[in-house]
Amino acid sequence: MLSRLTMTVPKMVTLTSGVRYFASSTVKSARYGGNPTGFGSRINQGFGVKTGPTLKERLLGPTTGKPFLYGTYALAGASVFGVAALMYYGLISKEQSILQKSAIWPTYVRERISSTYTYLAGSIALTAVSGVAASRSPALMRLTAGGGLMSLFGTMAVMIGTGMLARSIDYDSTLVKHLAWALHCGVMGAVLAPLCFMGGPILTRAAWYTAGIVGGLSATAITAPSEKFLMMSGPLAMGFGVVFMANIGTFFLPPGSALGASLASVVIYGGLILFSAFLLYDTQRLVKQAENHPHKSQFYGGEYQIRTFDPINAQMSIYMDVLNIFIRLVMIMGGMNGNKRK
């Protein structure tokens, strides 16, 4: 879960400008036959010499916008797959689902899941409030919106440190646990404060879209067999590695280049698909933890030290999935909104 924290510090302005570059670059590509500048095509027509760009020139040259177009196709395909999965598991599949098993759950399992999602809602609310508050502080905005590597590593260290602190404290230490949890949510809100530059309408639309995606994926997870998505851990780990390396590459390559646009597309669209899949996985993992964590009612006689189920820790992974989905929706909507203004 802590590794996903690194994915919440994207190059917001740079990646969004790459999406905005998509519109103008595709127009120029169509006008000049694949060469956005038009210079090479005119030279070739004048002298009758055919010269093709080298591989390096193709990778570092201006993008035609196709990586972002392919990203939208992949996202559309994933959406169709998700709707089909929901219909299949909800209407056709005869395997026992989590929803069907919930009818025989003990009361404590229901209480665990309910409290986990209550803390999830609280985490999102604390993050939103702290983000708005941080956006009004010039000092914090200079720190979190800075494009240097020191700012990046500093924010990553604070996020990971507060996350580890919150997870390490036992849930029975009520006050300390909740203070650490609130601190972590506050830090996450401060890190995401630069999103406020995108404007209220975009953030509101992205929030509603995120709520719809999370609701739909949660419904898919509970209507599917109880461990169907838990088998995706291997592919998810490999996909996370690809998106993580692409995220690092965007710090060194401009999104206006062909290679930079490809990496940005992987980070934005690939990341959105990846964390949507993570949400399916983490939802079913939460249910399994709530079912299997020992409860004092299961033991008769003797004294046993049973660690209390921790709903704050249980919601952390889903919380990170929701934030990463929201960030990428803001990137997409912010970039497309810039295209409309042009």
Contacts 24+ apart (CB under 8 A), 156-161: 156/5, 156/6, 156/9, 158/187, 158/191, 159/5, 159/8, 159/9, 159/184, 159/187, 159/188, 159/191, 160/2, 160/5, 160/6
d(CA 209, CA 214): 9
What are the backbone dihedrals phi and psi of residue 53, each rounded to the nearest 5 degrees, phi first?
-70, 150
Q: How many residues does the chain have?
A: 342
Burial class (CB in 10 A: 0-12, 13-18, 19+), 214: buried
∠ CA 149-150-156, nearest 5°, is 90
Given a contact cutoff of 8 angstroms between Cβ atoms, the answer to whether 310 and 245 are in contact is: no
d(CA 113, CA 246): 35
d(CA 298, CA 316): 27
Residue-by-residue pLDDT tens, the chain, 342 positions: 656 666 666 555 455 544 444 444 443 443 334 444 443 433 344 444 445 565 444 545 445 556 556 567 676 777 777 667 666 666 666 677 777 787 888 888 899 999 999 999 999 999 999 988 888 878 777 777 666 666 677 778 888 888 899 898 888 888 999 999 999 999 998 888 888 877 788 888 888 988 888 888 888 888 877 777 888 888 888 888 888 888 877 777 666 666 667 777 788 888 888 888 899 899 989 988 888 887 776 666 555 667 788 899 999 999 999 999 998 888 888 765 554 444
193 alpha carbon, distance to own chain's centre: 16
* Residue 225, SS3 per DSSP: strand
